[in-house]
Amino acid sequence: MKELFVEEIISEVEKLCIEANYDLGSDIMTGFHQALKVERSPLGVEVLERLIENAEIAHQERVPMCQDTGMAVFFVEIGQDLHVVGGSLTEAINEGVRRGYDKGYLRKSVVKDPFERVNTGDNTPAVIHYDIVPGDSLHLVVAPKGFGSENMGGLKLCKPSEGLEGAMQFVVDTVERAGGNPCPPIIVGVGVGGTMEKATFLAKKSLLREVGNHNPDGRLAKIEEELLDRVNRLGIGPQGFGGITTALAVNLEVYPTHIAGMPVAVNIGCHATRHKEITLQGRGIK
């Protein structure tokens, strides 16, 4: 058994929230540069160039790349032999969000009640997904999620008879319906199988994968390639102004499901799909 103090978690969460919003991942930057080599639409090229410039300004001047600094989504893996000391882990994560969004001059975009819609003023609460794993460390991933893209996702509880083609068509249709709204070039997260909530969770979690990395299962990697090809033939292009770069990646995750069903979830990430992570090691108890 090892232990970890909440103060350390709070200060790391604070830093992660700020860095995620200021520093675009190098995988997406590489994706922009590769897209520039193939994009044929002059407006599309212009958009890609400005997105690269924008990410450079955000990084150098320490400002958010986008004004929608998102709802803070966390994926937390807690070792079963780790003891969190000094307070609640959930409250520590929320306190880190509170401090990061304040000190980093990030926008507070969370309302307390979906109907009353009064801003909580500090971007809490975060959405936190916990997983208990072997070991004695804490792995934290923060993925601030903007809602221009979040609003364009979808879920279809497909019949098994619709098969792979039915699932793929739903993904393509969802991207087509989204058009320029989710700020293309997008990352398309797809979760298939499990139950309704498992599929949506997988779709969201797949957005954490680096652009350019395929599912390690070769069969699924081929499906990702075909989906990316079909999505980029829609012609939506950067910002929806027309072009062949609608998505930088399609990430597919699957899970065993019930004999009667095939849930298919699509979670769209914008070109500023942000995520930063850290592993905190517990200390020996004296």
Interface residue list for another protein (CB under 8 A):
38, 40-43, 45-47, 50-51, 53-54, 57-58, 61, 63-69, 105-109, 117, 119, 121, 146-148, 151, 179-181, 183, 228-229, 232-237, 239-245, 270-272
Residue closer to another protein by CB (options 50, 258) is 50
Handedness of CA 109, 114, 116, 122 (dihedral sign): negative
Q: How far is the CB of 134 from another protein (least distance, A)?
A: 39
Q: How far is the CB of 218 from another protein (least distance, A)?
A: 18
Residue closer to another protein by CB (options 126, 228) is 228
Q: How far is the CB of 66 from another protein (least distance, A)?
A: 5
Handedness of CA 198, 199, 205, 209 (dihedral sign): positive
Residue closer to another protein by CB (options 87, 148) is 148
Q: How far is the CB of 83 from another protein (least distance, A)?
A: 37
- DSSP code of residue 181: T
CA distances from residue 107 to 55, 100, 103 in whole angstroms, order as listed: 17, 11, 11
- CB atoms near residue 53 (< 10 Å): 10
Q: Give the number of C-alpha atoms closer than 13 A to the C-alpha of residue 44, restricted to the C-beta side.
A: 26
Q: Are the C-beta atoms of 78 and 138 separated by less than 8 Å?
A: yes
Q: How far is the CB of 186 from another protein (least distance, A)?
A: 10
Residue closer to another protein by CB (options 239, 267) is 239
Residue closer to another protein by CB (options 88, 151) is 151
Closest CA to 127 of 150, 160, 158: 150
Q: Are the C-beta atoms of 175 and 231 separated by less than 8 Å?
A: yes
